[in-house]
Amino acid sequence: MANAHPGNAHPDDNCLEKDFSNQVINGKISGNSSGYNDANGDPLTRLRTAGSVNISPELFEKLYLSPESRVKGELRKTFGNPTPIALVGFLLSLTPLSCDLMGWRGAGGNGAASTGVFFFFGGMLMILGSIGEWIIGNTFPFVVFGTFGAFWATFGATLVPWFNAYGAYVTDPTVAATWMGNPGNPAGLEVPAFNASMICLVFLICSLRTNIAFFVIFFTLVCAFGCLAGAYFNFALVYENATNVAAATRAGRLVVAGGAFTFVTSLAGWYIFFAIMLASLDFPLQVPVGDLSTMIKGASERVKGGSKV
């Protein structure tokens, strides 16, 4: 909803407010830069000419993937929304990896073909998005994006021979520098995968205050990392005993299952990205993400509600 006079907005309002009142035209400041008649009721005209535009809690949660928190200053009115660029880095890294894990069209190699993608899309874009979220005071997405940015950079590093992540486990010089050299390597990869599932479990619980699509992302990631941890454990059993056919079969199935879960994660992520971009442009078509921030009340809201009673 637009207010004709920005001064009417109370500083304690629950909506984020952006100021469009002062527009510069030919070196002069004008309150109406569109040149259109406000009476025509056009939403874009109202957006351009209004003194301020209030963003509802539902829209804020969709744009920033976090319930609105009170922060000092007006950085959210000054800087662009960093959430979409972090999502781009996440999705362009996870989508091809999920296809590799499922073995589509013969893909595999732990996603080695996408090593550069993991560094520059997954690592760089997500860390930049995390810094942006930190600047504007959005703690939850700041932690999520920073965590996954570091994850993608770390995962990419394990695929670069210079880091010797595989070669350090090779006991036979005739064996190439791969994890085939020693069961300690897949067993070692099991631990980070398990830890990733634990941090995603924490994010999953916290996402109950965001939206359904974000909840689906973390739910499927918990399942995916759990499957991959189990797969690495079984791979280690195979390398200890090459005749352990049952472990080899389980490992292969768990890798494919992990890829299937991450593929669902990607679909939910692309959906959120599409919804955010439409909302950012005030597009006539809006895509719902299943807002949960108004359904599951925060602790401070419950305290306020109790005090009013």
Pair of tokens at residue 210? 């965001």
- In this prediction, residue 122 carries a pLDDT of 96
- In this prediction, residue 71 carries a pLDDT of 61
- In this prediction, residue 105 carries a pLDDT of 87
- In this prediction, residue 164 carries a pLDDT of 77
Q: Which amino acid, 69?
A: S
- In this prediction, residue 53 carries a pLDDT of 46
Contact by Cβ (8 Å): 74, 47: no
pTM over 0.85: no
Q: Is 25 helix (H, G, I), strand (E, B) or coil?
A: strand
- In this prediction, residue 243 carries a pLDDT of 86
171-188, pLDDT tens digit by residue?
666 655 555 555 566 777
Q: What is the DSSP string of 61-121?
A: HHHHSS-----SSSHHHHSPP-HHHHHHHHHHHHHHHHHHHHTGGG--GGGGGGHHHIIII
Q: Which residues of the chain have pLDDT under 70?
A: 1-73, 75-76, 167, 170-185, 298-309
